[in-house]
Structure 1
């Protein structure tokens, strides 16, 4: 059996997924963006959702809480800057 090519059947926009992966995004993030773009127009994907201050303006406590919610590993040993980077990369 040969290895499967492409992101798999759960990704709705293979081209966008591959472009995002080439840019260095995680598999999860690339799939999430590609599927959101496939469900709506690509230009509206970035405008979706609520608004909140930049992570730079959050307290370390709030960053830790958010990291816990999304399952960032090693968060308790991270500095504020490391938490921000981990949240942005997740």
Structure 2
């Protein structure tokens, strides 16, 4: 049984499984909380933007800056895509 991670985590088992797989605390909490709330339907929300491969390098760079990805100025387009997907 997963331990209680406090009131901010809605699905402790999902959170712990994601952490065990190497997800950051922030990412694991986001996913666990979205899956715990049936009204949010995280899988149905996707698809509102084109895939990163269709973005320009400048658009990817701007998004990386918004998120705060370090080293973005030295990254090529493929590296920016990878960094954004694994943030």
Scaled by the length of structure 2, the TM-score of the pair is 0.82
1:9 offset after TM fit, Å? Answer: 3.6
> Does the 8 Å CA contact 1:26/1:89 hold for their aligned counterparts?
no
Q: Which residue of structure 2 aligns with residue 38 of structure 1? A: 36
RMSD over equivalenced CA pairs, Å: 2.0
Are residues 1:66 and 2:87 paired?
A: no
1:19 aligns to 2:17 (yes or no): yes
Give structure 1 stretches of 5+ with no counterpart. none
Runs of 4+ in 1 over 3 A off after TM superposition: 5-9
* Greater relative contact order (CA < 8 Å, ≥ 6 in sequence): 1
Query: Residues 42-84 of structure 1: CA distance to partner in whole angstroms, max 9, x if unpaired?
Result: 8x22112561111011110000000011111111111111100
Measured in 1, the distance between the counterparts of 2:6 and 2:51 equals 33
State the shift of 1:24 in Å.
2.5
Q: Which runs of 5+ in 2 are unaligned?
A: none
For the pair 1:83 / 2:80, whether they are aligned, the reply is: yes
